[in-house]
Amino acid sequence: MYLRASTRRKDGKVHRYWRLVESVRIGRRVIQRTVAHLGELDGAGRLKARALARHLIGAPEQAALFDDGHRELTVPVRLEGIRVERPRQFGDVYLALALWRAVGLSELTESLLAKSQEQVPWATIAAVLVTARLCEPSSELHIAEDWYRRTALPDLLQLPDSQVNKDRLYRALDQLLPHKGAIEAHLARRAGELFALEHEVLLYDVTSTYFEGLAEGNTLAARGYSRDHRPDCKQVCIALVVTYDGFPLGYEVFAGNQSDVKTVEQIVATMEARHGVIGRVWIADRGMASRSNLEWLRRSGRRYIIGAPKSALKRHASALADDRGWVRLREDVAVKLTKEVATGDTVVLCRSAARRDKERAMHEKFSRRIEAGLAKLATRLERAQRPLERGAVQRQIGRLLQANQRAAARYTVTLIDAGSPAGFHLNVAVNESFDAWAALTEGAYALTTNVTDWDEAKLWRAYIQLTQAEAAFRIQKDQLAIRPIWHQRADRVEAHILVCFLAFVLWKTLELWQARAGLGNSPRTVLEEIKRISAHDVCLPTTTHGEIRLRCVTQPDALQAMLLDRLGVTLPKRLRLDHSALELALSA
């Protein structure tokens, strides 16, 4: 995707509008399709954006880092000898470090990872690991041997690339992991300070990520239900908790064969010990909706909104069939409140037109597959020249129904003895009750809750925010490359997940920042645009002072300048060279 700016003259004024566009292939043509209209900010909006930027990243420049003390030096330069050397990525890592400082991780890691005998502070190496994971996700070996030296981080962190090696990066992982709890508690407080995020509603979901290798030394690595469609690999499960706006508060790592329902008590107790208990409403999908979990939540006085299993609709079939009492929340969504007699919980029955169309299409697709397979089998039986084994045919029918189980209950398939050469023929009956139930429940789902002071609209909208947790997993997998895991030791695996978690914190901070600046919600687009801003060494041969080397930042183009202006970010024009590397020969 790309950011595109367009101008329009209206009433004698020039208006600049932003659009987020993506390239889409249609036949043989590639067109740019608008994903979102970002509009323009008025003067007051720009002031608010800049105020937020100052609150996030502070002053635009630090003299000690960006001033080499020779700004006022005036010397004659020989033009034929001017050259540019050592281009390095600047924009994305500069913004990543600004985010690192904005969420307070720079000061926190400096206090937690106290310096003792090491040459390089562990807090600095931690910043390198998280910045790399945000800007160009890769292994520690790739960071040390290639990525770090291609960036401006040696200048921004005042850390030569010779000091960054894979062993130091690995040891930084070991140093960072013991402070996971303190880091999560700090981030929760900082998110509230920066963006006034509420922690009343906590969204909870579980995913898995798989290993490359046997992971024999990791007791958590096991084969289980793989959300990554890699049942051949061992995995671990990750339970993530985010706020209503999707800002991550914490996570826990579980064994790869751990079922979702068995993670609830531990994650709830852990998060409440870290962030408090009063007023919390826990929201989770139906994978966590076991009877024992709900009883534990009720018994301990916790509030919840949890997706109910599909089978729960059978207990509320009469309410579902009754057209009275439905409240339309959107054009394609209607909800209705009823009661769970056994527990006293409120049940929110929901109907979604889009979900109905999807489930109906799936039923039709699997029905066609079953009917085509049964027709093929019937033809085979008719053409058989000798008796067939009944058990083998029944197993074939079972495999067909298992592969298309969403519509398997629609059919009753039996083998009836006959005088044909095969010895039997196929009899297929369609269950009308399946069609009637499908017509009633397609697009319908239920939520169960013990929250009594919210109306149906607020309950439904809170539950729908679970998409924020699902989006967090997609970002960590697709954008931050949390999978596959190459580490084999258990502690290194957990440290890898912690670094990915911290990179997602920076990602979400940037997303909330740019949303408030009127720039949509695509951090990768912003990072890719700003990444093209680089730092170079400009070598100036002089006639009186030898050769002067200046480390300069390229001038942003019009698009980048508009983007930075919207964010309220001011880039430095120069970087300070280390005294040891400064090539400045002064002569009288």
Q: What is the pLDDT of residues 140-195, one digit of tens each?
A: 999 999 999 999 999 999 999 999 999 999 999 999 999 999 999 999 888 888 88
Give the mean pLDDT of 558-587: 66
CA atoms within 13 A on the CB side of 153: 27
Whether 274 and 366 map to the same domain: the answer is no
Whether 272 and 367 map to the same domain: the answer is no
**Closest among 20, 166, 74 to 487, alpha carbons compared:** 166
Instruction: Locate 413 and state its tokens.
Output: 């398939």
CATH of residue 297 = 3.30.420
* Model confidence at 571: pLDDT above 90: no
What pLDDT score does 582 carry? Answer: 39
Query: Distance between CA 143 and CA 136 in Å, rounded?
Result: 9
Contact present, 245 and 255 (Cβ < 8 Å): no
Whether 221 and 274 map to the same domain: the answer is yes
Place of tokens 């020779």: 70
Query: Distance between CA 577 and CA 583 in Å, rounded?
Result: 9
Tell me how far CA of residue 410 lies from CA of 301, 364, 398, 438, in angstroms: 42, 11, 14, 10
Query: Distance between CA 387 and CA 393 in Å, rounded?
Result: 11
Query: Coil, helix or strand for 266?
Result: helix
Tell me the pLDDT band of 3, cut-offs 50, 70 and 90: low
Q: Centre a 10 Å sphere on the Cβ of residue 346 and count the other Cβ atoms it contains.
A: 19
Whether 214 and 290 map to the same domain: the answer is yes
Whether 228 and 290 map to the same domain: the answer is yes
Element (H, E) at 425: strand 424-430
Diameter of the chain by CA atoms?
Answer: 115
C-alpha 107: how far from chain center:
25
- Residue with the bigger pLDDT between 570 and 93: it is 93
* Model confidence at 40: pLDDT above 70: no
Query: Distance between CA 489 and CA 522 in Å, rounded?
Result: 34
Least confident piece of the model among 52-56, 75-79, 575-579 = 575-579
**Closest among 255, 238, 247 to 275, alpha carbons compared:** 247
Return the DSSP state at 251: E
- Residues paired with residue 582 on neighbouring β-strands, in sequence order: none
Query: Coil, helix or strand for 35?
Result: strand
How many domains is the chain partitioned into structurally?
2
Contact present, 249 and 188 (Cβ < 8 Å): yes
Contact present, 208 and 227 (Cβ < 8 Å): yes
Determine the length of the chain.
588
**Closest among 289, 328, 340 to 310, alpha carbons compared:** 289
Give the mean pLDDT of 96-118: 89
Contact present, 211 and 436 (Cβ < 8 Å): no
Residue 328 forms part of a structural domain = no
**Closest among 211, 236, 226 to 488, alpha carbons compared:** 211
pTM of the model: 0.84
What pLDDT score does 570 carry? Answer: 83
3-state SS record for 430-474:
ECHHHHHHHHHHCCEEEEEECCCCCCHHHHHHHHHCHHHHHHHHH
- Residue with the bigger pLDDT between 130 and 581: it is 130
Contact present, 224 and 208 (Cβ < 8 Å): yes
Instruction: Locate 529 and state its tokens.
Output: 């645009």
Contact present, 127 and 506 (Cβ < 8 Å): no
* Average pLDDT over the chain, rounded to an integer: 86
* Model confidence at 269: pLDDT above 50: yes
Query: Distance between CA 184 and CA 199 in Å, rounded?
Result: 13
Query: Distance between CA 358 and CA 365 in Å, rounded?
Result: 11
Which structural domain, as residue segments, surrounds residue 365? Answer: 355-441
DSSP string covering 511-562: HHHHHHTT-TT-HHHHHHHHHT-EEEEEEEEBSSS-EEEEEEEPPP-HHHHH
Whether 206 and 305 map to the same domain: the answer is yes
Residue 45 forms part of a structural domain = no
Place of tokens 């009308």: 432
* 430-444 residue pLDDT tens: 999 999 999 999 999
Whether 418 and 459 map to the same domain: the answer is no
DSSP string covering 66-128: H--S-TT----B-GGG-EEEEEEE-HHHHHHHHHHHHTTHHHHHHHHS--SS-SS-HHHHHHH
Least confident piece of the model among 48-62, 177-191, 359-373, 497-511 = 48-62
Q: What backbone torsions phi and psi does residue 198 show, to the nearest 5 degrees?
A: -90, 140
What pLDDT score does 581 carry? Answer: 39
Tell me the pLDDT band of 396, cut-offs 50, 70 and 90: very high
Contact present, 453 and 433 (Cβ < 8 Å): no
Residue 492 forms part of a structural domain = no
Number of H helices, E strands in the chain: 20, 18
Whether 295 and 215 map to the same domain: the answer is yes
Query: Distance between CA 110 and CA 583 in Å, rounded?
Result: 32
Contact present, 479 and 524 (Cβ < 8 Å): yes
Whether 300 and 239 map to the same domain: the answer is yes
- Residue with the bigger pLDDT between 42 and 563: it is 563
Instruction: Locate 577 and state its tokens.
Output: 């060279």
Query: Distance between CA 422 and CA 173 in Å, rounded?
Result: 67
Give the mean pLDDT of 531-544: 87
* 54-75 residue pLDDT tens: 767 665 544 444 555 555 567 7
Contact present, 135 and 92 (Cβ < 8 Å): yes
What pLDDT score does 107 carry? Answer: 93
Q: How many percent of the chain have pLDDT more than 70?
A: 88
Q: Which residues neighbour 180 within 8 Å (Cβ) at sequence distance 6 or greater?
A: 494, 498
Given CA atoms 224, 227, 230, 234 in this order, what sign does their dihedral have?
negative
Residue 503 forms part of a structural domain = no
End residue of a domain, out of 406, 441, 476? 441
Whether 413 and 465 map to the same domain: the answer is no
Place of tokens 């003895």: 417
Residue 276 forms part of a structural domain = yes
58: region left, alpha or beta (phi > 0 left; psi from -120 to 50 alpha): left
Residue 362 forms part of a structural domain = yes
Residue 433 forms part of a structural domain = yes
Whether 297 and 369 map to the same domain: the answer is no
Whether 422 and 459 map to the same domain: the answer is no
- Residue with the bigger pLDDT between 196 and 188: it is 188
Query: Distance between CA 507 and CA 473 in Å, rounded?
Result: 12
Residue 263 forms part of a structural domain = yes
Q: How many percent of the chain have pLDDT more than 90?
A: 54
